[in-house]
């Protein structure tokens, strides 16, 4: 039995080859596992009914109309070609952290997730672009809908390396310049920045009519404080360090992390923002399925 790459451990999948190969394998496996794509509805809108004709696909029959009129009608759909999506990727120094050599760093995981998401959207003919940031906006690629645009995105994603500090707010403000019409903004980050400042910007995007998704990327090692009896901890972005005893801080640390995750979840969903907490050990297919199912419900 052939295992689907989208359901395998992300680190193992990454050994298959480059980001492009991994993303295509993950997306093919993900789509093959669906009876129907939950992404249907990203780029297709209901237009009108017409009388049923022999040969029409039965899945488009409107059974409610049949019950009301005792006649068969088919739902017709029209392509919505103006949906534009911007992926906003955090490439700050904190994204380079990994708790175990057998795992992908947060950034390497995020880059492959971005590659898979962009491939799915472009296959739907949704114009897709990219913004990468650390302490400033590092890269801006305007949204295009052509299939070969994916290779342009991938050349930039491949070249991205961990940067300095984190300034998500200017990058998200850039989205408002690029998404003139109703679109989709997707933030992929470890969310280690000023929550209130960024939430205001995300809420502004919602106010402008955009759908907003947040993928909160974390390494499993960030959930619990482990280490020797005494250790020095250093902030990768500021260089500030301190000596602490992990055992003494473990309970308070774990409680703080769980509370922070729940605060992000509640704050996002209270503003109509789609929030996903993602560990770097989670198979990409699971993340795509959850995001697709929720995005389909949100319309």
pLDDT per residue as tens, the chain (299 positions): 457 899 999 999 999 999 999 999 999 999 887 644 444 444 444 455 667 666 666 666 777 776 777 777 766 554 444 479 999 999 999 999 999 999 999 999 999 999 999 999 998 888 999 999 999 999 999 999 988 999 999 999 999 999 988 889 999 999 988 988 889 999 999 999 999 999 999 999 999 999 999 999 999 999 987 767 676 777 776 778 777 777 777 888 889 999 999 999 999 999 999 999 999 999 999 999 988 876 665 55
Instruction: Indicate the pTM of the whole model.
Output: 0.82
**What pLDDT is attached to residue 108?**
98
Could you list the beta-strand ranges (E) of 22-148. 44-51, 73-79, 84-90, 127-133, 137-144
Helices 19-32 and 284-298, packing angle to 10 deg: 60
- Distances from the Cα of 4 to the Cα of 60, 119, 150, angstroms: 30, 17, 22
Number of C-alpha atoms within 13 angstroms, CB side, residue 135? 7
**What pLDDT is attached to residue 1?**
45
**What pLDDT is attached to residue 154?**
97
Judge contact between 133 and 90, C-beta under 8 A: yes
**What pLDDT is attached to residue 55?**
60
**What pLDDT is attached to residue 37?**
45
**What pLDDT is attached to residue 51?**
76
Q: How is residue 284 written in tokens?
A: 């990409």
**What pLDDT is attached to residue 39?**
46
**What pLDDT is attached to residue 43?**
41
Q: Which residues touch 157 (CB under 8 Å, ≥6 apart)?
A: 19, 89, 111, 114, 115, 130
Number of C-alpha atoms within 13 angstroms, CB side, residue 89? 33
Judge contact between 155 and 111, C-beta under 8 A: no
Architecture of domain 5-35+82-298: 3-Layer(aba) Sandwich (3.40)
Number of C-alpha atoms within 13 angstroms, CB side, residue 59? 3
Residue range(s) in the chain whose domain bears CATH number 3.40.50.410: 5-35+82-298
Judge contact between 124 and 295, C-beta under 8 A: no
Backbone angles phi, psi at 95, to 5 degrees: -70, -15
Query: Distance between CA 194 and CA 32 in Å, rounded?
Result: 40
């Amino acid at each position: 039995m052939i295992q689907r790459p989208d359901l395998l451990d992300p680190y193992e999948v990454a050994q298959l080859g480059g980001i492009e190969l991994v993303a295509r394998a993950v997306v093919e496996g993900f789509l093959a596992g669906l009876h129907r794509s939950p992404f249907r509805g990203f780029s297709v809108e209901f237009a009108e009914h017409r009388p049923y004709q022999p040969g029409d696909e039965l899945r488009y029959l409107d059974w409610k109309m049949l019950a009301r009129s005792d006649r068969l009608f088919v739902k017709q759909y029209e392509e919505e070609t103006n949906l534009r999506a911007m992926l906003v990727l955090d490439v700050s120094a904190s994204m380079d952290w990994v708790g175990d050599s057998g795992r992908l760093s947060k950034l390497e995981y995020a880059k492959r997730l971005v590659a898979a998401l962009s491939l799915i959207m472009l296959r739907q003919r949704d114009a897709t672009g990219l913004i990468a940031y650390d302490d400033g906006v590092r890269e801006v690629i305007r949204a295009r809908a052509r299939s070969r645009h994916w290779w342009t995105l991938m050349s930039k994603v491949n070249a991205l390396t961990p940067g300095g500090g984190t300034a998500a707010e200017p990058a998200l403000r850039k989205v408002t310049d690029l998404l003139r019409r109703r679109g989709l903004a997707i933030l992929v980050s470890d969310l280690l920045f000023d929550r209130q400042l960024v939430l205001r910007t995300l809420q502004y995007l919602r106010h402008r009519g955009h759908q907003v998704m947040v993928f909160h990327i974390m390494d499993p090692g960030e959930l619990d404080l482990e280490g020797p009896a005494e250790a020095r901890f250093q902030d990768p972005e500021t260089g500030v360090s301190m000596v602490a005893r992990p055992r003494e801080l473990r309970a308070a640390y774990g409680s703080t992390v769980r509370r922070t995750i729940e605060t992000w979840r509640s704050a996002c969903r209270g503003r109509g923002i789609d929030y996903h907490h993602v560990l770097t050990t989670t198979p990409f297919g699971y993340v795509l399925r959850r995001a697709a199912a929720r995005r389909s419900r949100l319309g």
